[in-house]
Amino acid sequence: MSEKYQNVTVEKLCYSYTETPFVHDLSFGFKAGELFNVVGPNGAGKTTLLYLLGGIIKPQSGQILLDGVPLSSFKRQALAKIMTIIPAESNIAFDFTVYDIVSMGRYPYHSPLASLTNDDHEIIREVIAQIGLTKYEEKVFNQLSSGERQRVLIARALAQKTPILLMDEPTVHLDIHYQLDIYRLAQSLAHDKNLSIFMISHNLNYTSMYSDRIMLMHGGRIVKIGTPDEIFQPKLLSDVYGTALSVYPHPKTGKPTIWPD
């Protein structure tokens, strides 16, 4: 895995789908070893921002820098060795096994018709074991539960060996057990593997428990960036989400927990 291009800086980023701007003048950054979570109501611009960071769409103005190098200067295959997008869910048309799906993470390192090497297979097996999927590796991806499929998508991203992971609502549709698994894994990847983790989330309480910093968005703009204690303030949240919310310290961790009034 490259140790370069782990630190992301966004400068005055703007994008619109129509004549009306959708995200406005966004400036922020996140870095290696950090779980950086983005929250906000539907339509805040969170997923559009993720697509901009991943190079899927191009900004109308402003720029994204990877360790000072413009994102726009990287070719697609080079960028695939730097960052990976983990979608909220994935529809696979064919009956690929878990091993097949995870092995797709090695494709950026080879020409289209090249075979995987012994080193590739070793990386794939290590990642499958790391994510706790060894007993599933020969199972068909489409026959797994939502939580199991999400772990496979994360394993595929880890097999890609990129220093930056962009996670688009990775716990959507998952039950509480798998939600906790994903948040704990994301935190571990940031803190223990020194990855840069950018995550979009709707679960404010899990975001509070596991994030290093949080960016609150509304109407395509940044409202505030800070620690969970700085972001999860009752009036601020109530104003952004348009409903009365209260914040209490968690009885064990002291982290802010959010409840409707």
What is the pLDDT at residue 3?
A: 64
**Structural domain boundaries of the chain?**
8-82+162-260, 92-161
Euclidean distance between the first and final Cα of the chain, in Å?
46
> Which stretches in the chain have pLDDT values below 70?
1-3
pLDDT in tens, 48-107: 999 999 999 999 999 999 999 999 999 999 999 999 999 887 778 789 999 999 999 999
Q: How far apart are CA 247 and CA 261, in angstroms?
A: 10
| Helix 176-191, helix 146-159: angle, nearest 10 | 20
pLDDT at position 19 is 78
Count the Cβ atoms, other than its own, within 10 Å of residue 3: 9
Q: Report the CATH fold assignment for 8-82+162-260.
A: Rossmann fold (3.40.50)
